[in-house]
Chains A and B, each alone.
Chain A
């Protein structure tokens, strides 16, 4: 069974540009969550999509957005990039709706974004 796939692995962008990151969940998983990891702030939750609907959102500015497609693949977009957006962006997938977590919550290897 293939794991969670994030593309690209590395990305360098210029301040003011926008960027789109992709996450393909494990087959059959309908939930995709996104996290930002930085040395200063640690791991912070960005948002979660379930069956194409955003159902949880972290405390990030509107420049951070996402969407999920009918095949459960998700993208996150950051517009007007700032230097502070440099981070490792991780996504995780699950087949859990609500209630008992009967199966795993699996992370991808992340996308390292550098803003210069």
Chain B
């Protein structure tokens, strides 16, 4: 079974600064996907970024980038130039490549961006 751990229950950052959210996972699989989802108070789960395990290059989406360390089973999210709208719960999630569409989530990190 896969497990996903987010060790930071809460974090805060000043507007315009950079913050990094941590995520580690455990799996015996070699082919999988990793995701970061954002859940604002509206509770809509929004995809921030995803990484395919076979790709060594770290994914980036505008102000969001990841540091994917496959051997260490680490998948951190860096948010640059933080904005007030980034305030939300952030979930790291894992999906195997060949077992259907089933996500295993971490416990989440509550991020507060302060003005």
Contacts and interface: CB of A to CB of B under 8 A. Distances in A.
A31 B95 CA distance: 14
B100 A50 contact: yes
A106 B33 CA distance: 15
A31 B102 CA distance: 10
Q: Classify the interface of chain A: helix, strand, loop or mixed.
A: strand
Given A35-B103, A45-B103, A105-B103, A99 B97 contact: yes
Contacts of B99: 56, 98
Interface residues of B, number: 25
Interface stretch (B43-51, B58-66, B70-78, B80-88): B43-51
Nearest to B37: A107
Contacts, number: 68
A7 interface: no
Contacts of B50: 101
Contacts of A98: 97-100
B42 interface: yes
Given A43-B105, A98-B100, A110-B45, 14 more contacts: A31-B101, A42-B105, A42-B107, A43-B91, A48-B100, A50-B101, A88-B43, A90-B45, A92-B101, A98-B99, A100-B52, A101-B33, A101-B52, A101-B95
The 7 closest A-B pairs by CB, nearest first: A107-B45, A43-B105, A56-B100, A94-B101, A31-B101, A56-B102, A109-B44
Interface of A: 31, 33, 35, 42-45, 48, 50, 55-56, 58, 88, 90, 92, 94, 96, 98-101, 104-107, 109-110, 112
